[in-house]
Amino acid sequence: MSRAVRRDGKRLGFVPTMGALHEGHLSLLSAARASCDIVTASIFVNPTQFGPNEDLEKYPRSFERDCELLEKEGVDVLFAPSVEEMYPAGAVTWVTVEELSGKLDGRSRPGHFRGVTTIVSKLFHVVEPDVAFFGQKDAAQVAIIRRMVRDLNLPVEIAACPIVREVDGLAMSSRNAYLDPQQRKQALVLHRSLMRVEKRVDEGERKAAKLVAAAREEFGREPAVRLDYFEIVDAQSLDPLEDVSKGAVAAVAAYVGPTRLIDNLVLREG
Ligand code: AMP
């Protein structure tokens, strides 16, 4: 289909998801709608990006509701393959972005980004989009996919869309469904820590170590939440920065009960 679309001079947009759709996903679909003639979405809970003790089995699935939402959003094509279709028995071929895949979430979730880059490259081969839309919510994922596309000369443009949040600041995530009312309140510490860092930057602080200390202090006030990492990194290389400069991102991951949540904020220029 993508060849026919291109032959007609039309632009094909692609939004890959794992389903359990929320406003964050819908924002990617409307960005795709706004700049493309045809929009394809995929729903695939990709087993290879989950670690052995992670939540693959209980990951929220709401296929019927997702289909209704996609239809309402005017998505033209849904690709929802089975695991067997995407991973034929005996598949041993991987796409790995070396170095970057071991940073941030990649350090706490070994193999996670290898699973992501393998499935995204396979989806790109099947769908053949002109442009693919990803959320800035997963900042490391965006950096790694951009690098993969560059390194492998893939003919696809990558568009990153802003983080969509609940009114109280919590970044929308399919995993928020795991939170009980108390954990839902505790989870706000991720956003609070980012706001505190942003305020300090606005006040003139540039030292990453000072900013990270301020964020950690915020987590100290919410002992029920276990901080995994809070780092200030370069958005492209994901390397930690000593001073906030152009392209700096504050990235955080934390466990609220058993639920691992992430969030981040692009910091202003130094
Ligand atoms: P997922 O279904 O969690 O794999 O996410 C599919 C896409 O939606 C990824 O590109 C995510 O970065 C993006 N996404 C998830 N949550 C949000 C959010 N709150 N705001 C913007 N994009 C999001």
Q: What is the mean pLDDT of the chain?
A: 96
Beta-bridge mates of residue 216: none
Select from 134, 174, 191, 266 the residue to mutate for testing ligand 1; criterion: most ligand atoms less than 8 Å from CB: 134
Q: Give 7 Cα–ligand 1 centroid separation in angstroms.
A: 30
Give the model's pLDDT for residue 246. Answer: 84
Choice between 56 and 268, residue whose per-residue pLDDT is larger: 56
The per-residue pLDDT for range 201-259, each reduced to its tens digit, is: 999 999 999 999 999 999 999 999 999 999 999 999 999 999 998 889 999 999 999 99
pLDDT at 182 over 80: yes
CATH 3.40.50.620: does it fit domain 2-161? yes
Give the model's pLDDT for residue 269. Answer: 61
Select from 23, 27, 28, 168 the residue to mutate for testing ligand 1; criterion: most ligand atoms less than 8 Å from CB: 28
Calpha distance 112→49 (Å, rounded): 4
Q: What angle do CA 39, 41, 42 make, to 5 degrees?
A: 155
Query: Which segments of the chain belong to CATH 3.30.1300.10?
Result: 174-267
- Once rounded to an integer, what is the mean pLDDT over residues 59-87? 98
User: What is the atom index within ligand 1 of the atom nearest the CA of 174?
Assistant: 3
Give the model's pLDDT for residue 237. Answer: 97
Q: What is the 3-state secondary structure (H, E, C) of the chain?
A: CHHHHHHCCCCEEEEEECCCCCHHHHHHHHHHHHHCCEEEEEECCCHHHCCCCCCCCCCCCCHHHHHHHHHHCCCCEEECCCHHHHCCCCCCCCCCCCCHHHCCHHHHCCCHHHHHHHHHHHHHHHHCCCEEEEECCCHHHHHHHHHHHHHCCCCCEEEEECCCECCCCCECCHHHHHCCHHHHHHCHHHHHHHHHHHHHHHCCCCEHHHHHHHHHHHHHCCCCEEEEEEEEEECCCCCECCECCCCEEEEEEEEECCEEEEEEEECCCC
Query: Which segments of the chain belong to CATH 3.40.50.620?
Result: 2-161
- Once rounded to an integer, what is the mean pLDDT over residues 33-41? 98
The per-residue pLDDT for range 94-137, each reduced to its tens digit, is: 999 999 999 999 999 999 999 999 999 999 999 999 999 999 99
Quote the percentage of the chain above a pLDDT of 90. 94
List active site positions.
25
Count of all residues that appear for the chain in the document? 270
**Ligand 1 pocket member 171 (CB < 6 A):** yes
Tokens 């699973």 appear where? Answer: 115
Q: Give 133 Cα–ligand 1 centroid separation in angstroms.
A: 9
CATH number of 174-267: 3.30.1300.10
Give the model's pLDDT for residue 5. Answer: 76
- Once rounded to an integer, what is the mean pLDDT over residues 67-71? 98
- pLDDT band at residue 1, thresholds of 50, 70 and 90? low
pLDDT at 270 over 70: no
Q: Are 256 and 241 in contact (CB under 8 A)?
A: no
Parallel, antiparallel, or unpaired: how do β-strands 131-135 and 225-234 relate?
Answer: unpaired
User: What is the atom index within ligand 1 of the atom nearest the CA of 137?
Assistant: 12
Question: How many C-beta atoms surround the C-beta of residue 248 within 10 A?
Answer: 22
pLDDT at 4 over 90: no
